Amino acid sequence: MKKQSSVGSLRRISRRAPFPGTDVTALVFAVLTLFAGQQVLTGGPAPQTLWDLARLSQAPKAEWGESKDLIQEVYYTGEPFRGKPTRVFAYVGRPAGEGPFPGMVLVHGGGGRAFEDWARHWAKRGYVAIAMDTAGVGPGNKRLEDGGPDQADTTKFRNFTEAESREMWTYHAVSDVIIAHSLLRSLPEVDPERTGLTGISWGGYLTCITAGVDTRFKVAVPVYGCGFLQDNSVWRDNRLAAMEKDARRLWIRQFDPGQHIGRAACPILFLNGTSDFAYPLDSYRKTIEQVKPELATTAIHLQLKHGHFWEFEIVDAFVDSILRSGTRLAKVGEIRISGDTAIAPILTETPAASAELLYCIDEGPWQPREWKTLPGEIGNGVISAKLPEERPIAFLLQATDERGLKTSSTHANLIRPGGGENHAIIPTPKLEQDFYDWYVRHADVLRIKDEIDPEIVLIGDSITHMWSGRPREPGRAHGADSWVELFGERALNLGFGWDRTQNVLWRIDHGELDELHPKTVVIHIGTNNLAPTKNHVAGTPEQIAEGIQAVCERVQAKVPKAKILLMAVFPRGEQPDHPLRAKIAEINDLLPPITEKLGVELIDITRKLLNSDGTMSKEIAGDFLHPSANGYRVWADALRPYIE
């Protein structure tokens, strides 16, 4: 645990929801005012270098064709393909009148094409819209002699080298979208400062990437499509699995939307169904978690049909709310659990007219799961619903406004039965403010974990966080030498300052171990569960031990072949009579039966961290809690026989 810092962050407050154990009014106040006015920290993905936005932002050469019923054909210059110039075909829809009008870029999905009816839909609504082809075809779906790559899966997922990145379909398709945007902005009837982007399925995938590359857009709506396809998608076990390892890792780094959407600077509506065949909810949630929370609105609909459908009232309304100052959607914040109730705040001025709980108690693949609904309650700026008793359960809260438009939280999971008043076993996102942005670090983990492909994963709080490794924490790596000597570049650091067992459970449930295959996982967690704050009631040793057991069980479920090394909770305080020493000893006394039951290795280095008289020296931990370089070396030496 680290002493509370005055450095705060507003980046993720919109995902916060009420804390357990208080009345509803207090819950709402906590959500809407906590940390207000404090300094905002920055983070997120590095700048991309594949697409030359300055060059692609120039209006292309265009050949205009036939115009009829608000629609005109156009061919514009695309990116070179295999050393030859290309053209892209599109339909442009224009409303009657002189403008200036807002503009929309429309991106079709797999098996689709430039749809003139889609452009006409937006033109009738008062927008200039361009619907381009991204598969090298023209009118009638006929192949262009000078078209770019086709959109077959064998083209999208072929093996390639970094030098061939600009020959890949995704590079060309995103470029086609950016250039179409540049053409749209150049039209005299378009207001270039009021343009938006929406795409369906593979077009949603492209929308997620493009929103993070072309920051000129003022609004974006990916429908179905998302990132983290390598973690879960219809392509994970076939197309992606069939790629050579180096090509697959390069594809993820260059072309998975999870690597790009975190740079988006405009409001984004994420629209998907509970059981989408291609883009399941776990990958969808990870994608949303890459985006600044003040920019993301979620709408998960029950059994939403997948196809080239564009007459979604919620999409029209969301775009209007940004580009035409229309009524905003009722944005739902992140779920928190209070007893047997799920609670989420409404974060916009548009109230919810009704609320529902959408849930399923099935396990396994998302697509065949049976989703059910229960009525919820509204009031005091939150929506809530009582949870069924069955476990495991996946669930989300959905709000419906007076127009009938449905928005939602992302989904949450509860695995273990019971819980009661033991918050240590209820997955919970960030509770405390610290020196870093908790949600940004989580997003960074999701984005880099496959690149690292770690042999060793360390899970914990600030004690682990400030050892070293990736994600990098500049100025906070207090044991860099011992880390490099023991782990090199083969370890992933899942230590998060101020975390408790419930925070670790949330992070595991939200994908930090997904699709990883480490040989060893080191867990050190629990000391912060002893710390009472305005957001947390201190746990008893029995409750904390149960939380530690839940973490071990969750890790075993995620990476069943990994060897798990559980560290006894480190001592804290300079003197042996420090008030927390006895409670830590009680926790550690409860761990041997747990580790024996689970087949986990328990490592206790308490005596190695203390002097012979039971005192702790500043040479081991300068604040008598967080290890110094010497303290981390003691830990490294204790781990070495189990790792090497």
CATH number where 286 lies: 3.40.50.1820
Residues 223, 348, single domain; the answer is: no
pLDDT, residue 416, reads 76
| Token pair for 480 | 């860099």
Residues 174, 156, single domain; the answer is: yes
| Token pair for 305 | 């049909």
* Domain encompassing residue 621: 424-643
Among candidate residues 277, 300, 323, the one where a domain is terminated: 323
Query: For residue 97, what are the contacts with CB-CB under 8 A and spacing of at least 6?
Result: none
- Residues 319-341 as b or e (16 or more Cβ within 10 Å = b): bbbbbeeeebbbbbbbbbbbeeb
pLDDT, residue 29, reads 40
Residues 313, 338, single domain; the answer is: no
Residues 275, 371, single domain; the answer is: no
Phi, psi values for residue 518, rounded to 5°: -70, 155
Element (H, E) at 504: helix 501-509
Residues 341, 461, single domain; the answer is: no
Residues in the chain predicted with pLDDT less than 70, given as ranges, are 1-43, 418-420
Among candidate residues 414, 449, 482, the one where a domain is terminated: 414
Asked, for residue 233, whether it belongs to a domain, the answer is yes
Residue 127 and residue 95 in contact, taking contact as beta carbons nearer than 8 Å: yes
Residues 128, 74, single domain; the answer is: yes
Asked, for residue 448, whether it belongs to a domain, the answer is yes
Residues 276, 342, single domain; the answer is: no
Residues 453, 572, single domain; the answer is: yes
Asked, for residue 404, whether it belongs to a domain, the answer is no
Residues 391, 501, single domain; the answer is: no
Helix, strand, coil shares of the chain as percentages rounded to 5? 35, 20, 45
Q: Tokens 């960030």 — which residue?
A: 430
Asked, for residue 32, whether it belongs to a domain, the answer is yes
Phi, psi values for residue 602, rounded to 5°: -100, 130
Element (H, E) at 90: strand 87-93
Cα gap 221→211, rounded to integer Å: 9
Asked, for residue 50, whether it belongs to a domain, the answer is no
Residues 551, 606, single domain; the answer is: yes
Asked, for residue 514, whether it belongs to a domain, the answer is yes
Cα gap 639→535, rounded to integer Å: 34
Asked, for residue 54, whether it belongs to a domain, the answer is no
Phi, psi values for residue 300, rounded to 5°: -95, 120
Among candidate residues 279, 298, 323, the one where a domain is terminated: 323
Task: Give the three-class secondary structure for 464.
Answer: helix
| Token pair for 262 | 């975190």
In the chain, what is the greatest distance between 2 CA atoms, to the nearest angstrom? Answer: 90
Strand duo 71-77 + 62-68: pairing: antiparallel
Burial class for 404, CB neighbours closer than 10 Å (0-12, 13-18, 19+): exposed
Residues 361, 309, single domain; the answer is: no
CATH number at residue 562: 3.40.50.1110
pLDDT, residue 421, reads 78
Asked, for residue 183, whether it belongs to a domain, the answer is yes
For 587-596, the CB contacts below 8 A with 24+ separation are 587/526, 587/541, 587/544, 587/545, 587/548, 590/541, 590/542, 590/545, 591/545, 591/548, 591/566, 594/545, 594/548, 594/549, 594/552, 595/552, 595/566
Count of structural domains within the chain:
3
Active-site residue set: 462, 623, 626
The residue type at 390? E
Task: Give the three-class secondary structure for 632.
Answer: helix
Residues 363, 456, single domain; the answer is: no
| pLDDT one-digit tens code per residue, 12-70 | 333 333 333 334 434 444 443 332 322 333 457 989 999 999 999 999 999 999 899 99
